[in-house]
C-alpha cells in the first residue's frame, strides 16, 4: 500500500476483517494490522452458531441485543452467497434446528413460557415433547421432559473470517503484520498509529477491533475499556453415523455438527482464565459430561481435538461499538462475548456506515463506549 490508507483497522479477527470488508466495499482504502495471523484467536475456533433466538446460549427476549441479533442473522443470510461470489471461499453455511432441553419441571415451565411469548418469532419457536422431539433428533436423552426448538444457521468460523478478508483484499484492502503499541492525535486531522517495530502509520480513521486485548487500548486513549478475556474450551468429535440432525444447547453447553464433518462439543466459560489459552483436563471432562447428558448415544464418539479461545467480555456483558469519546476518527468494536460470530455481520456493517455516512441504519446507542465514562454519550 503506497498511499496513506483511509482507515487503519487494528486486529484481523471477525470484527476487524468484517469492518475491512464493508469499508472496502464502500470504496475506502483499508489497511489491517495484525500482530499474529488472520483469525488466530477465538474467531478461528468458534462454534459459529448463528442463532437469532437464544443468542450466546442464553434465552432472552428483553435485552438490547435480542433485536440486534435478529437483524444480524438476516445480514448473515444475505452474506452467504455474496461471500462465495466475492471471495471464492465456501464458508460452510448450513441451517438446522436447535434443541433447548428441559430436564426439570422448572426448566419446562420457563421454556414453555418463552415459546408462548415468542410464537410469532422468525425463525419460529416451538415446544416439543415425546415422539415429535425424538423425530427431530433421535440421539437426544430420553429423560428430558421436552424441549424448545428454534432454528439457526451456522458457518465454519475460520473460513468465514478468511472469506471476509479475501473479499476485502480483492477490493484493495491490505493486511500487514504489526503490533500496535499506541495512538497519537495529529495536530491536523488524522491519527498516528505507533508500532512496536517499524514506522509510525497515519490515517484519518482508526478502528480498534482487538477482541479480549481491547483493554490494552485504555492506556492509549485515557478511558475505561472494561473488556476482559473469558476462556472457552471445545472438543472436536468424530461421530459415527448417524450424525446429529439438530444442535443441542443446554446450560451454556452445546453439541453442533459442522459442515467439515466434525461435531463440536462445548463450551466452558472461564472468567478467571486471564490470557491463558491452554486447554485443561477439567475442561475436557466438563464438556464430555455435558455432551453425554444431552445425547448419551454419543458415547461412541472419538475426541480428535481439544481447542480453546479467549472471548472478549465486557463489564455489563454488552458490546462496545462506536466512536471513542474524545478521539475523533477512532472507533472501537469489542466485548461481543459468546455471540461474536452472530453479531459480527451487523456490528461491522454499522461501524462502516458510521465511518462512511456519519450514521448507522441500526442504532448503536445501547452499545456506546461512552457509557463507561463520565462524559456525554456520543454515538449516533
* Under 8 Å between Cβ of 249 and 236: no
Among 278, 297, 314, the domain-final residue is 314
Looking at the fold, whether 163 and 305 belong to one and the same domain comes out as no
pLDDT tens digits for 363-375?
999 999 999 985 4
**Is residue 216, in this structure, part of any structural domain at all?**
yes
**Is residue 332, in this structure, part of any structural domain at all?**
yes
Virtual CA dihedral for 348, 350, 353, 358, nearest 10 degrees?
Answer: -130
CATH number at residue 276: 3.30.9.10
pLDDT tens digits for 220-272?
999 999 999 999 999 999 999 999 999 999 999 999 999 999 999 999 999 99
pLDDT tens digits for 146-179?
999 999 899 999 999 999 999 999 999 999 999 9
- CA–CA gap between residue 323 and residue 379 (Å, rounded): 6
Separation of first and last alpha carbons in the chain: 31
**Is residue 50, in this structure, part of any structural domain at all?**
no
Residues composing the chain: 380
0.75 surpassed by pTM: yes
Which phi and psi angles does 290 have, rounded to 5°?
-65, -40
CATH number at residue 365: 3.50.50.60
Among 314, 338, 353, the domain-final residue is 314
Domain boundaries, position 174: 7-45+159-226+316-372
Amino acid at each position: 500500500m503506497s498511499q496513506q490508507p483511509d482507515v487503519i483497522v487494528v486486529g484481523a479477527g471477525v470484527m476487524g476483517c468484517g469492518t475491512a470488508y464493508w469499508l472496502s466495499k464502500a470504496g475506502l482504502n483499508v489497511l489491517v494490522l495484525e500482530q499474529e495471523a488472520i483469525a488466530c484467536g477465538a474467531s478461528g475456533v468458534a462454534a459459529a452458531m448463528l442463532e437469532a433466538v437464544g443468542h450466546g446460549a442464553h434465552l432472552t427476549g428483553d435485552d438490547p441485543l435480542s433485536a440486534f441479533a435478529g437483524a444480524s442473522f438476516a445480514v448473515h443470510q444475505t452474506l452467504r452467497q455474496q461471500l462465495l461470489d466475492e471471495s471464492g471461499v465456501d464458508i460452510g453455511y448450513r441451517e438446522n434446528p436447535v434443541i433447548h432441553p428441559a430436564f426439570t419441571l422448572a426448566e419446562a415451565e420457563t421454556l414453555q413460557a418463552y415459546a408462548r411469548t415468542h410464537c410469532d418469532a422468525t425463525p419460529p419457536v416451538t415446544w416439543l415433547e415425546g415422539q415429535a422431539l425424538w423425530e427431530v433428533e433421535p440421539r437426544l436423552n430420553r429423560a428430558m421432559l421436552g424441549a424448545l426448538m428454534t432454528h439457526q444457521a451456522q458457518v465454519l468460523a475460520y473460513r468465514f473470517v478468511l472469506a471476509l478478508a479475501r473479499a476485502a483484499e480483492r477490493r484493495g484492502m491490505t493486511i500487514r503484520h504489526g503490533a500496535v503499541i499506541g495512538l497519537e492525535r495529529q495536530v491536523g486531522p488524522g491519527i498516528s498509529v505507533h508500532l512496536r517495530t517499524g514506522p509510525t502509520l497515519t490515517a484519518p480513521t482508526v478502528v480498534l477491533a482487538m477482541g479480549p486485548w481491547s483493554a490494552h487500548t485504555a492506556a492509549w486513549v485515557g478511558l475505561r475499556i472494561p473488556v476482559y478475556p473469558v476462556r472457552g474450551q471445545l472438543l472436536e468429535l468424530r461421530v459415527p453415523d448417524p450424525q446429529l440432525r439438530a444442535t443441542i444447547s443446554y446450560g451454556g453447553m452445546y453439541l453442533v455438527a459442522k459442515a467439515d464433518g466434525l461435531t463440536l462439543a462445548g463450551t466452558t466459560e472461564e472468567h478467571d482464565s486471564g490470557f491463558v489459552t491452554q486447554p485443561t483436563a477439567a475442561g475436557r471432562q466438563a464438556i464430555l459430561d455435558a455432551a453425554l447428558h444431552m445425547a448419551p448415544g454419543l458415547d461412541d464418539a472419538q475426541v480428535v481435538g481439544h481447542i480453546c479461545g479467549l472471548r472478549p467480555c465486557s463489564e455489563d456483558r454488552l458490546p462496545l461499538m462506536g466512536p471513542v469519546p474524545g478521539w475523533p476518527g477512532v472507533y472501537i468494536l469489542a466485548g461481543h462475548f459468546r455471540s461474536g460470530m452472530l453479531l459480527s455481520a451487523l456490528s461491522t456493517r454499522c461501524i462502516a456506515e458510521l465511518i462512511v455516512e456519519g450514521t448507522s441504519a441500526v442504532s448503536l446507542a445501547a452499545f456506546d463506549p461512552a457509557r463507561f465514562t463520565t462524559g456525554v454519550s456520543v454515538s449516533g
